[in-house]
Amino acid sequence: MIYGERIRLRGVEKEDLPHFVEWMNDPEVIEGLLAFWPISSADEQRWFEHLPDREPVERPLSIDVRAGEAWQHIGSCGYQHIEWKAREGEIGISIGVKALWNQGYGTEAVKLLLKQGFETLNLNRIYLRVNATNLRAIRSYEKCGFVLEGRLRQALYQYGSFQDLLIMSVLRSEWESSNREVL
């Protein structure tokens, strides 16, 4: 497990699947994501069964927060599209418990992913894609050191209109020269 100050990142367990189904079928949760289609419990079960087929570092992680003496599952994050020769990877994150939005948990999770990516995976560039209308996420990414690399104009169709998709990244040198300490 990867521990932060208020959260931990851990491998996805079968018990997490009902949460994912609930969150991925909530229009408010998926509005900021690149998801657009409802999922069923059977879909999620098939997805879970194929996780071992992925490279270990590209398997998603569950985000948990302290809830008294226990932990509460609130979302997921992880790496995908890792290119080892170029030393780069894409991250993604989702906080599904809306009552915990705007409390810094997503920012903390992204900082932990950056630390893992630069210190453990030896990546040089970590990037993400975000809907240009997702201002809350963009602010969080900027707090973590991400800078705008480019805009893919009308690259996303969502809710009856085309949206721009932003590409943001952090380079190892930028991360090392700014705030290397995660929490």
Instruction: Report which of 34, 13, 14, 9 is spatially closest to residue 24, judged by C-alpha positions.
Output: 34
Q: How far apart are CA 168 and CA 152, in angstroms?
A: 11
pLDDT by 10s per residue, the chain, length 183: 999 999 999 999 999 999 999 999 998 888 877 777 788 999 999 989 999 999 999 999 999 999 888 999 999 999 999 999 999 999 999 999 999 999 999 999 999 999 999 999 999 999 999 999 999 999 999 999 999 999 999 999 888 899 999 999 999 999 999 864 444
Q: Which amino acid is at 127?
A: Y
Which DSSP symbol is given to 120? I
67-114 residue pLDDT tens: 888 999 999 999 999 999 999 999 999 999 999 999 999 999 999 999
Q: In angstroms, what CA-CA distances link 143 with 12, 14, 98?
A: 26, 32, 20
What pLDDT, on the 0 to 100 scale, is given for residue 10? 97
CATH among 3.30.70.2500, 3.40.630.30, 3.40.710.10, 3.90.226.10 for 2-126: 3.40.630.30
pLDDT of residue 179: 63
Specify the pLDDT at position 3: 94
Quick one: DSSP state of residue 101?
T
Regarding pTM above 0.95, the answer is no
Domains of the chain, residue spans: 2-126
Q: Which two tokens stand for residue 152?
A: 């893919």
